[in-house]
Structure 1
Amino acid sequence: MEDHCPHPRCHRIGETREGQRGTKERDEITMEDESGWQNSVIIVPTILSSSTLLTIIIILWRLIGRKGGEKRDAGETRGDAEDGDWAVNMGGVYEYPLGAPDPVLEMKQLPQDWRMEDRAVLCVGHFGPISRAVLVGKGEDRREVILKELSEKCSPGEVQDFIDLLKFYHEVCNHGGVVRMLWCQTEAPPMCLIMEAMTLGNLLLFLRESHEEGMAACSISEQHVFSMAAQVASGLEYLSGTHNLVHGYVAACNVLIHEDMSVRLCGLGLASVQHRTGSFPTRRAARVPVKWQSPERLREPSVTEKSDVWSFGIFLYELVTLGAPPYPDVDPAKIPKTLKKNYRMAKPQQCGERLYDVMTSCWQWEAPNRPCFTDLLKQLQNFSAEANGSTPLRATDTLDWAEYLRVAGIPS
């Protein structure tokens, strides 16, 4: 039996009290619900905003990390992540994937019946190894060539740069004063540029050999100097006049020599970038040793035909001294201030007046006052007949190679 009071009033009082308690509890529950709702209005958007912000931060962090990784990978491939001028198309995509024919270069592909023999690596260039080799064709026809190869560890942009370099040689290097492309190979690895070889190789190294041997280098005379200088001036006239291009580093190290004493201009990397992009790569050009740079180049990143003319005067000094470093008594770091004081190199002992006049005309402080290459070519050709063709030139210094590099301000 249930234990409760049987009186009706007690039941009503109990019901009233229970009703009051129920009302109070409902009010408390309602207040709690309202408070919870208000807290939800504040907390939920906060949580959603925080999570959204955190998601955005994570996405940005991953994107930045990925780009940083790509930059590091590209830098490791190229060897120098800061040199944007070497591979302008670093993020580019190769128009013609390896194996697909390039319509411009298809006609210059190495014939399939030619084979390569006696390959010897000379050095490693920007794109990959540079080698000397012998091509053997039908009837055992043999040709010495220089191979410039594209490394397997290259970015898509560097592949495009290499293709553009091949096109530059195909379209521009069609003159007797510049080194020429014979063939190329782009439809099978490794991609390579195949250039004619000059039997005696690099002119600077050839000239420096006379220092080691203590004798004249193949009896180079002042007349040879005029002839070689005219050939280089002709190549520079062609680049600037026909194609509106600047070489950017006119020096003996960028000239090749053949056994008949003919020479051709090489080192056309800066000109090829200008041809490709329409602007001169000033960051890369700034790395040219200061002793070959004109005053205006030392002041600001500006390279013109007249800047090349100044460097051509330095090249004449190299020729007549058989590869002596320019400004031998001036530290490379002091060159800008020294030139500003109107200092110019004195006439070398075995240099004739005519040749020295040509040199000093190239070293006019104001660029517009310097002759153009057309005028220089005429002078060199006219004066050549008066030059001494019988007396061999002698080396004017006894520096070893390491000391030469230090005095010339060339990184070893």
Structure 2
Amino acid sequence: MSLHCNFSITNRCNVNGINNGVIIIPVILGFSSVVLIIIVIWKTCKMKQERERAPIIQLQDKPRSLNRLGNEYETVTSTTERILAARDPSLKRWEIPPENVTANLEYMQSGSYGPIYTASILPMDGSGEVKAVLKALHDNASSKELMDFLDLLKFHVTVCNHESIVKPLGCRAEKLPLYLFLEYVSGGSLLHCLWQFREGEVRPGEGVFSLTEKSVYSIAKQVACGLDYLTTKHKLIHGDVAARNILIHEDLTVKLAGLSLAFDVYKTGTLSSHKAAQVPIKWLAPERIIKRPITEKSDTWSFGILIYEIVTLGSPPYPEFQPLEIFPKLQRDYRMPRPANCSNVLYDLMKHCWQWKPYDRPSWSELINKLDSLMNNADGVKLLQTADDLDLNQYKQAAGVF
């Protein structure tokens, strides 16, 4: 029997009369399969690396006990002198003597450890007089509070040394009263600045209030850089990423504040369920709402909520829902709709942060690169606007912040 071939352009044969397609198609399929296998292996390895890199924070119902000074926390009979003598020696180079406080303290508010003031100081680096925020340990502090405050000093001088985090300027740890000096951020809370711009309490185009699409990318990138630093350098999470915990200078430089949860993780490696639950639900990733282990990708979800806050000029997330309604909505794939003045590309980035599975969310390095790329083509002239009404008197109820 002879083998017949059709020598048309679309169906040629080799010299043995075998259709070229019989050879080419299996080769293409085989090559495609190899490429697919390589991609799957690469993604699997990448996911494994992210799991190994991401800090996993377990929630604890009871605080973990700590060994201090060779024993448990000192009892009330412990002397202040003994506790101060056992402070970390690295604090000594941050010590600011009383004579370097060059002006009277001005009271700001009450903090978790005691009163907070503004002051003018001469830092030990010889950089000249600067305005600072002074956090003081209150009078009659217990032994535990005293040691906690010393830990707080160590946390700030060890961890908080990044351009996008409020930096320490010095401390007083040798004798009572104990102080922590932090850099002063002129514009105050980002959330309050957004409200002021929305309410027309300042003239558009002035300093910190010149908020454009480009401003959004710039602010978001700075925050992402600070969060990336906490994760990669110190294996910490922030835990409460929100506009209320961002401070802003008049030149649109922003600083991460509100690091109390990161401080708790720094001390013990865990986070108490009670403190974790103090973060409003509307900013929480799904795994945090149901008290699963926390990773850096939990902060990524909150970062998407922060971007929503900025582009809406301080609107509360999910304004049409009560806090307890949020989780069932998220389970059914509900996500906040695109704000009117938000570009499609920025909204896509926000939705990427709101992926249900933590490891489907972008890494900080991916977000930083994306924001940097988008910022180059963003509108830096047109000011942000919103037509949505916001009753500031009812904000806490709408945001679930109490």
Q: TM-score, normalised by structure 1?
A: 0.74
1:95 offset after TM fit, Å? 8.6
Q: CA deviation at 1:136?
A: 5.4
Displacement of 1:398 = 3.2
1:102-181 matched pairs, under 5 angstroms = 102-135=88-121, 141-181=128-168
Q: Match for residue 368 of structure 1?
A: 359
Of 235, 240, 243 in structure 2, the residue corresponding to residue 244 of structure 1 is 235
2:273 is aligned with 1:308? no
The answer for the alignment partner of 1:331 in structure 2 is: 322
Q: Quick one: distance in 2 between partners of 1:117 and 1:86?
A: 41
Q: Distance in 2 between matches of 1:95 and 1:241?
A: 37
Structure 1 residue 397: deviation in Å?
3.6
The answer for the alignment partner of 2:221 in structure 1 is 230
1:186 aligns with 2:173: yes
Give how far 1:395 is off: 4.2
**Structure 1, residues 115-147: CA drift from partner, whole Å, max 9, x if none?**
242533222121111222222589994311111
Matched residue type, 1:231? Q
C-alpha deviation, 1:294, in angstroms: 0.5
Residue 242 of structure 2 is aligned to residue 256 of structure 1: no
Map of 2:331 onto structure 1: 340
Partner SS for 2:191: helix
Select 1:92's aligned residue among 73, 89, 95: 73
d(CA) in 1 for partners of 2:170, 2:272? 27
Match of 1:199 among 174, 181, 186: 186
Report how far residue 230 of structure 1 moved: 0.3
SS class of match (2:105): strand
Q: In the alignment, which residue of structure 2 is the partner of 1:409?
A: 400
**Counterparts of 1:359 and 1:287 in 2: how far apart (Å)?**
24
Letter in 1 for 2:243: A
Task: State the TM-score, normalizing by the size of structure 2.
Answer: 0.76
What is the one-letter code of the residue matched to 1:343? Y
Query: Does the aligned pair in 2 maintain the 1:322–1:396 contact within 8 Å?
Result: no
- The answer to whether the 8 Å contact 1:274/1:281 transfers is no
Where is the helix percentage greater, Structure 1 or Structure 2? 1
Q: Which has the larger radius of gyration?
A: 1
State the alpha-carbon separation in 1 of the partners of residues 266 and 81 from structure 2. 18
Query: How many Å separate the matches in 2 of 1:232 and 1:155?
Result: 35
- d(CA) in 2 for partners of 1:318 and 1:330? 16
Contact 2:341 2:386 in 1 (8 A): no
Q: CA deviation at 1:231?
A: 0.4
The code of the aligned residue for 1:370 comes to: R
Distance 1:120 1:212 in 2: 28
Given that 1:109 and 1:185 are in contact with CA atoms closer than 8 Å, whether structure 2 keeps it comes out as yes
Which blocks of at least 5 consecutive residues in structure 2 are unaligned?
1-60, 75-79
Query: What percentage of aligned pairs have identical amino acids?
Result: 41
Question: CA offset at residue 188 of structure 1?
Answer: 2.9
Q: Pairwise CA RMSD of aligned residues?
A: 2.6
Alignment of 1:70-81 (within 5 A): none
- Displacement after TM superposition at 1:100 (Å): 7.3
Q: Is the 8 A contact 1:198 1:256 kept in 2?
A: yes
* More contact order relative to length (CA 8 Å, sep ≥ 6): 2
Query: How far off is 1:113 after superposition?
Result: 3.5
**Structure 1 residue matching 2:385: 3-state secondary structure:** coil
- Per-residue CA distance 1:187-216 (angstroms, 9 max, x = gap): 232211100011111111111112332664
> What amino acid is the match of 2:225?
S
- For structure 1, the residue ranges without an aligned partner over 5 or more in a row are 1-82
Indicate the larger mover: 151-160 or 252-261.
Answer: 151-160
Q: 1:161 to 1:84 in 2, by over 3 A?
A: farther
Measure the CA separation in 2 of the matches of 1:400 and 1:153.
41
Contact 1:200 1:259 in 2 (8 A): yes
